Amino acid sequence: MSGGSESRGLWWGFVGVVAFSLTLPATRAAVSAIEPFFLASTRSLFAAALAVCVLLVTRPRLPTREEWKGLAGAALGIVFGFPFLMTWAMQEVPSSHGAVVLAIMPLTTAMAGAWVAHERPSVGFWVVSFLGSAAVVAFALRHGGGAMTSGDLALVVAILLSSYGYAAGAKASATLGGWQAISWTLVLALPILLVLSIALYQPGLQHAPASALAGWLYVGLVSQYLGFFAWFRGLAQGGIARVGQLQLLQPFLTIAASAALLGEPLSAEELGFALVVVALVAVGRRMRVQR
């Protein structure tokens, strides 16, 4: 893999992480007025409807049988597993706490990349990955008073499923393309999403506050679809393990966004942890990953 391709992959991955950094606060706002499982099914349904339109206009080639297998794995992790479990968890824990729990995803994503795409990170990469995850978990425990809840457990399962979905989708993206991969993934899941959304229909949504509706729209169009244009492309170009390390930045981007949009203060401790994580991501970028 060339250095230029890796650098482009890292930049695309960063764009994806920025897009995903608002997922938890947007979901938290949405579940204040929308039932969690209806929200989870319809966020993917919105994305699937947009994907159908994009595919009809662009008319890309159909995926091969091997690519369909990867897309099915992606659907399991990022269309069903993660959205449903994460949305339920946002009723149980604050979005800021959920963000730091989710930051162990770089480690689980690297593991999924080794399993699904047969990547072989070096020992140094694994050491840096564990250190980064440990720093974020330490931040999570301090930020949450050391408590683990049922919401945390749901997030852990969501992490495992999402990491598998990332790796499976990235493998398909390597030959299919990033936006094509997420589009076909959503189309594959569309029949089930339609049935679930009808079965879970929630009346009275016209009375939901604007903040809940805005959060609903964001997680459907950006978190579930447009963000994956960049994320899958980044994983395919830069490597699942290496680009996945950028997820260590996501909790701090979420906190920064909350400070900018909601006026929440940033503490010196949060900034200190953020600097440590940024340094570890920079070190991890220099570690060898065999693809």
Sign, CA dihedral 134-92-78-15, equals negative
Q: pLDDT class for 179, splitting at 50, 70, 90?
A: very high
Structural domains counted in the chain: 1
Q: pLDDT class for 63, splitting at 50, 70, 90?
A: very high
Could you give the CA distance from residue 124 to residue 17 in angstroms, rounded to a whole number? 24
Residues 6+ apart with CB under 8 A from 157: 81, 85
Q: What is the mean pLDDT of residues 86-114?
A: 76
Predicted pLDDT of residue 257: 74
SS3 call for 17:
helix
Residues in a beta bridge with 289: 121
241 phi, psi to nearest 5 deg? -65, -45
Span 135-172, pLDDT tens digits: 767 776 676 666 667 787 888 889 889 989 988 998 89
> 208 or 92: whose pLDDT is higher?
208
SS3 call for 192:
helix
In terms of C-beta density within 10 A (0-12 exposed, 13-18 middle, 19 or more buried), how is residue 203 classed? exposed
Q: pLDDT class for 117, splitting at 50, 70, 90?
A: low
Would you say 13 and 75 are in contact if contact means Cβ atoms under 8 Å apart?
A: no
pLDDT score of 265 more than 90: no
Share above pLDDT 70 across residues of the chain, in percent, rounded to a whole number? 85
Would you say 11 and 245 are in contact if contact means Cβ atoms under 8 Å apart?
A: no
pLDDT score of 4 more than 80: no
DSSP class per residue in 35-98? -HHHHHHHHHHHHHHHHHHHHHHH-PPPPPHHHHHHHHHHIIIIIIIHHHHHHHHTTTS-HHHH
Full domain range(s) for residue 112? 3-290
pLDDT score of 2 more than 90: no
> 93 or 183: whose pLDDT is higher?
183
In terms of C-beta density within 10 A (0-12 exposed, 13-18 middle, 19 or more buried), how is residue 264 classed? middle
Could you give the CA distance from residue 178 to residue 176 in angstroms, rounded to a whole number? 7
Predicted pLDDT of residue 93: 74
Residues 6+ apart with CB under 8 A from 24: 86, 90, 95, 96, 98, 99, 102, 254
**CB atoms inside a 10 Å sphere around CB 85:** 23
The b-or-e profile of 95-129 (16+ CB within 10 A means b, else e) is: bbbbbbbbbbbbbbbbbbbbebbebebeeebbebb
pLDDT score of 197 more than 90: yes
Predicted pLDDT of residue 236: 85
Q: pLDDT class for 59, splitting at 50, 70, 90?
A: very high
Q: What is the mean pLDDT of residues 116-124?
A: 73
Which of these, 75, 100, 138, lies nearest to 247 by C-alpha position?
Answer: 100
DSSP class per residue in 114-139? HHHS--EE-HHHHHHHHHHHHHHHHH
CA distances from 120 to 6, 61, 73, 169, 287 (A): 16, 31, 21, 18, 11
Predicted pLDDT of residue 261: 64
User: Which of 79-93, 148-162, 210-224, 238-252 is the most confident on average?
Assistant: 210-224
Mean residue pLDDT of the chain comes to: 84
